[in-house]
Chain A
């Protein structure tokens, strides 16, 4: 069984709902990066003493979750529901297949057979040094 990386670019206030939703599915680890999203359709206007600045870049969070393949669909659906929140605005969820991954907390790995072997070798090498 393989792993999928689910990447979503969401509005910052969605993070807490998203975290709780995936936690219920047993996903306890996620990575968050602050990013600037360029959106050509809708910009914001900032206004300072008569000067209007068209702001095309929006502050967003990129949330990355690594999940088992069979969970990916369920997780993605939850992410979409939360991130969409009834407003038409740009944003997306992506899936990528993960070649190899391991968690050094408990040495658990979730990879295909071939990757499993390669990973074991890597870990062994890593352990020796």
Chain B
């Protein structure tokens, strides 16, 4: 318990999310105990039942735990099959399987790495001190490598640490998987694996640590509001994707050859699964089943719907027709943007964040990409980085109760909080941008980033995997 105890303290000390939640769950337990006593008085089976209920109160909260078990499964659903299908549908038929394979392999690889050292690097709090910037502010140690400190008794907040570690594992899975969209259709599979290992180790785990590990962590101490991973997941993956798309180069034939999505049916199914899974991502980030999770769920639905409509109408206005790819891309943009905001903003903030993300991500993925000429195959930058930045900055505005937020700002002002948000965004952009570039260079010099021109023309399914997505 030596390292897991500080983790527990760190996480439970996220003050504003947890205090009201825990109050309400205590009330529930009290009510339950009262009901049990009431029943006991009538049925006269003795007071043993009430005693059991009281004993349970010191262990994990069963309601919170049940929700977090569910949320964890929902977040896994986001990557496989949600994101995998979303991406696979958008590539050409000859590469469909390679994208599914990449997402699946990342899921397995990140799970193992998270167990071996990732969880420790991200959530080991040894040496951290509130207000002090030291090495431990950037990354955890190896004290909990192989998860040796997780026992049946260790708790994070009101849930077993095993559940918390698995929940966070699913975040570590989806973040590198998001980047796949940027270099789809041309990266070597071996290069992808090496890149993912290095990026997970040097970028993802430290980012998680800096934002979420508690007092003494760099951005936590700045006071950044990032409920479910605007900086950690989306800006992080989006910027890495942009750097990767530029460094690996354009696909052969881009942009003169037509590269239409091979199955928008798969893409719409994938986006729909992402939407459903995202309730686990955002409402699960409350790490409890209470009012905070409930509000996160509500604002997630509002922002997603608003962004889907915003993208659809933007496209309808500028191009003349609404498209299925457009409306689902808008939904994903809204999901991304509400991610950092979901625990602190209210319904009105969610509506504004969704509408802004829908329009801005549409412009980034269509106009900006064309203007700059980079080949971010599936718009990881345009949707995740831009959506993440929109959400992160607007969180600093709409978290305030005066604007419908549900955050207790204490002494904070809107201007001050927006600056904290902007500073965190800039730090993330530079941190992930520079490190991703270095990692890609290393991978290029060792195994090489790209497949040969011949393999690219043949398609990665046959050239790298000896398989076809569709036989017939």
| Partner among A46, A47, A49, A53 whose Cβ is within 8 Å of the Cβ of B379 | A49
| Partner among A47, A49, A50, A54 whose Cβ is within 8 Å of the Cβ of B321 | A47
Within 8 A of B (CB), among A18-51: 46-51
Most buried by B among A46, A47, A54: A47
Once bound together, how far apart are the Cα atoms of A50 and B261, in whole Å? Answer: 13
Which A-chain residue is minimally distant from B368 (CB atoms)?
A50
Once bound together, how far apart are the Cα atoms of A48 and B362, in whole Å? Answer: 12
Contact of B255 with A51 in the complex, beta carbons under 8 Å: yes
> At the interface, yes or no: B329 with Cβ under 8 Å from chain A?
yes
Once bound together, how far apart are the Cα atoms of A82 and B369, in whole Å? Answer: 45
Chain B residues with CB under 8 Å of A53's CB are: 258-260
> At the interface, yes or no: B326 with Cβ under 8 Å from chain A?
yes
Once bound together, how far apart are the Cα atoms of A50 and B365, in whole Å? Answer: 7
Q: Shortest distance in angstroms between A36's beta carbon and chain B's nearest beta carbon?
A: 14
Q: Shortest distance in angstroms between B311's beta carbon and chain A's nearest beta carbon?
A: 10
Q: Shortest distance in angstroms between B181's beta carbon and chain A's nearest beta carbon?
A: 12
Contact of B260 with A50 in the complex, beta carbons under 8 Å: no
Within 8 A of A (CB), among B313-361: 319, 321, 323, 325-326, 329
Mark interface residues in B142-167 (1 if CB within 8 Å of A CB, else 0): 00000000000000000000000000
Once bound together, how far apart are the Cα atoms of A54 and B365, in whole Å? Answer: 20
Q: Shortest distance in angstroms between B352's beta carbon and chain A's nearest beta carbon?
A: 24
Interface size class, chain B: 10 to 19
> At the interface, yes or no: B465 with Cβ under 8 Å from chain A?
no
Contact of A47 with B319 in the complex, beta carbons under 8 Å: yes
Once bound together, how far apart are the Cα atoms of A95 and B118, in whole Å? Answer: 73
Chain A residues with CB under 8 Å of B379's CB are: 49
Once bound together, how far apart are the Cα atoms of A53 and B367, in whole Å? Answer: 16
> At the interface, yes or no: B370 with Cβ under 8 Å from chain A?
yes
Mark interface residues in A48-60 (1 if CB within 8 Å of B CB, else 0): 1111011100000
Contact of B259 with A51 in the complex, beta carbons under 8 Å: yes
Chain B residues with CB under 8 Å of A50's CB are: 365-367, 369-370
Once bound together, how far apart are the Cα atoms of A64 and B370, in whole Å? Answer: 45
Chain A residues with CB under 8 Å of B319's CB are: 47
Mark interface residues in A85-116 (1 if CB within 8 Å of B CB, else 0): 00000000000000000000000000000000
| Partner among A48, A54, A55 whose Cβ is within 8 Å of the Cβ of B261 | A48
Once bound together, how far apart are the Cα atoms of A47 and B365, in whole Å? Answer: 13
Q: Shortest distance in angstroms between A11's beta carbon and chain B's nearest beta carbon?
A: 21
Once bound together, how far apart are the Cα atoms of A46 and B321, in whole Å? Answer: 11
Most buried by B among A46, A49, A54: A49
Which A-chain residue is minimally distant from B366 (CB atoms)?
A50
Once bound together, how far apart are the Cα atoms of A68 and B365, in whole Å? Answer: 59
Once bound together, how far apart are the Cα atoms of A49 and B259, in whole Å? Answer: 11
Once bound together, how far apart are the Cα atoms of A64 and B260, in whole Å? Answer: 32
Chain A residues with CB under 8 Å of B366's CB are: 49-50
Which B-chain residue is minimally distant from A53 (CB atoms)?
B258
Which B-chain residue is minimally distant from A47 (CB atoms)?
B319
Chain B residues with CB under 8 Å of A46's CB are: 258, 260
Contact of A49 with B260 in the complex, beta carbons under 8 Å: no
Q: Shortest distance in angstroms between B6's beta carbon and chain A's nearest beta carbon?
A: 45
Once bound together, how far apart are the Cα atoms of A42 and B329, in whole Å? Answer: 30
Chain A residues with CB under 8 Å of B365's CB are: 49-50
Interface residues, chain B, with chain A CB atoms under 8 Å away: 255, 258-261, 319, 321, 323, 325-326, 329, 365-367, 369-370, 379
Can you name 26 A-B residue pairings with CB atoms under 8 Å?
Answer: A46-B258, A46-B260, A47-B323, A48-B260, A48-B261, A48-B323, A48-B325, A49-B325, A49-B326, A49-B329, A49-B365, A49-B366, A49-B379, A50-B365, A50-B366, A50-B367, A50-B369, A50-B370, A51-B255, A51-B259, A51-B260, A53-B258, A53-B259, A53-B260, A54-B258, A55-B258
Interface residues, chain A, with chain B CB atoms under 8 Å away: 46-51, 53-55
Which are the 10 A-B pairs with shortest beta-carbon distances?
A50-B366, A53-B258, A49-B365, A48-B260, A48-B325, A53-B260, A47-B319, A46-B260, A49-B366, A48-B261
Identify 10 new A-B residue pairs, CB closer than 8 A, beyond the known A47-B321, A48-B260, A50-B367.
Answer: A48-B261, A49-B325, A49-B365, A49-B366, A49-B379, A50-B366, A50-B369, A51-B255, A51-B259, A51-B260
